[in-house]
Structure 1
């Protein structure tokens, strides 16, 4: 009886060991495979791109690289979309800020001081003339402040009946915009205008529109432009966008921020040194800003200027990873 019990116990022990081994074997094999993979793997940084963000496309840059790239950011927030009308025109001097200097009485020019390019102030002495009839000398003074843009005489000459100097004050100028009949019903005084010249742009307001076509088929819409640094050159041509309507949008981003990432319009959202791609669903656009319908939350910081550099870095990292 004792022998039978021993035989039965040995048999049950053998069966238990077999079952335990069968259960343990797959787990041990999986653990071994994970260890083997870890031994032959390296951290997946891909030259600045990291997969520590749930697989999202992320570019990581140091502060030095961020400064070197000249990246600029903005906060995603509500904004306005503007319908615009594109027109053309030119910069003109303001007549009341122009003046010519002539002798009050005919005579000989004793001295004529300022030259072209010299700035003068209203009341400055410009020339001395000796009158022919009385032989008395008198002084010619600047009638306005500005710059000498033309000189038509010199000392020793007679004044005769001619202009001696021309003075112009270009610290304020006019932008004269051509408005054709098909555009006239959309344009009125008080509208905002974006003015674009050669390497310069600014916003202004239409302050007057000619009542009829004074020069050719077009009327003129006038914008007064401050020009203290002389960036707006008289007689230069300009392009302008007149704002004809404004609508509100719940969330907008600047157009320069948008990049095509894998066939979808996207922006790079910044968190510390990470720049994460956010694909967007877009709505209306006015050429400068675009309405965001999905993919972005208000208040996040996104890259505006030079965002294309982040796209290039992302593509470079992906190419290196593929190889």
Structure 2
């Protein structure tokens, strides 16, 4: 009975914590929803109607074939007023305290704003109008792509951020190839003076060091004994010698040094002109995530049957993990450049017809529509849409998107 009571208590506690978390997320997501749910009166130009008695302003965001701009239509008792008789100014306060001041000029039957309403169209609108000596004022929130999540909740959901800054990016091309032995990695051991093998100190498969005694041979002519030493370090990969045998002029042993292998990389015609000797290359072998770095040392003068030119790079294999004949995948770095702004690709999301990241100001998050340039590894160059020094979401940005989508923050002005 005591165990059952304990289990019941634990279940109740777990449910309580779960409901508390759900409630907290809901409250965070509802921070800006009230304005979105209010009914907004629209005018004949599909703008927002602002009324004070018989005087009314229709504020329209005009986006047809032009950069977005505000246009104002004024009426008194439902009758259109000449634009020249009305003075209007607007102040837009954006997330982070950025303020845009907009003045208007007479365009006949409407007033035209003097600046582009750049994305995101998310701000507090303060509109002041003057007609026949009387002033009118309206203020309202017009948010889109914005949500509020407490820092503690964001931390629990592993939402991570970084700062927008300049980055050094790389242009790479992906190629494939195979590991081979350098020509200098093989030595065939023969007797300088034919004779009888008196002693043999190594066998097939043994590792040897440069200068190590391999065998002693007694010359058939002088009957003098001499020692054959290893000309390089490596492994005995061929043996055709035994104690008491005659050496003749044949190969007795072969030593192979596999401490360094050559990556032979096939580069096809369209990209051959991009690769130069000295370029850095990062490689992996099939079935492994271990990264090997090297530099292009040379290129063969001819192409193979697939018209690919072979560029070669030496790889350190002191560990012995690499094998001759293994297939490799390589990225050759053909250019390195610095861009003023870049963001992590992991933070990118879609919003309406835009690719965005979510800027963080305090405990609020808001879309930033990006014009993107080149891609390089985890980075994307940013041509416009966000300022240097902006904190933005890099990990689990889909949570922010889901919360904004749930709130129904619309493109409405």
TM-score normalized with structure 1 length: 0.61
Higher relative contact order (CA 8 A, sep 6+): 1
SS at match of 1:129: strand
Q: Which one of the candidate residues 340, 358, 370 is aligned to 1:281?
A: 370
Offset at 1:166?
Answer: 2.0
Identify the residue that residue 184 of structure 1 maps to in structure 2. Answer: 272
Please, which moves more after superposition, 40-49 or 283-292? 40-49
1:157-306 matches, within 5 Å, as: 157-198=245-286, 199=288, 200-213=290-303, 217-255=307-345, 257-258=346-347, 281=370, 283-288=372-377, 289-292=379-382, 293-294=384-385, 298=389
Q: CA RMSD in A?
A: 4.4
Distance 1:133 1:277 in 2: 93
- Structure 1 pair 60–277 and aligned structure 2 pair: CA distance change class (3 A): farther
Higher strand share: 2
Please, which moves more after superposition, 292-301 or 180-189? 292-301
**Between Structure 1 and Structure 2, how many residues are aligned?**
262
* Structure 2: runs of 5+ lacking an equivalent: 1-15, 32-146, 404-413
Q: Deviations over 1:198-249 (max 9, x none)?
A: 3232333222223333787443212232332234332222222233334432
Identify the residue that residue 114 of structure 1 maps to in structure 2. Answer: 202
Distance 1:219 1:114 in 2: 41
Q: Which one of the candidate residues 45, 59, 75 is aligned to 2:21?
A: 45
Offset at 1:124?
Answer: 0.8
- Structure 1 pair 61–126 and aligned structure 2 pair: CA distance change class (3 A): farther
Residue 91 in 1 paired to residue 186 in 2?
no
Identify the residue that residue 155 of structure 2 maps to in structure 1. Answer: 60
TM-score normalized with structure 2 length: 0.50
Distance 1:230 1:277 in 2: 52
- Structure 1 pair 214–60 and aligned structure 2 pair: CA distance change class (3 A): closer
SS at match of 2:236: strand
Offset at 1:73?
Answer: 9.1
Distance 2:207 2:366 in 1: 54
- Structure 1 pair 232–167 and aligned structure 2 pair: CA distance change class (3 A): same
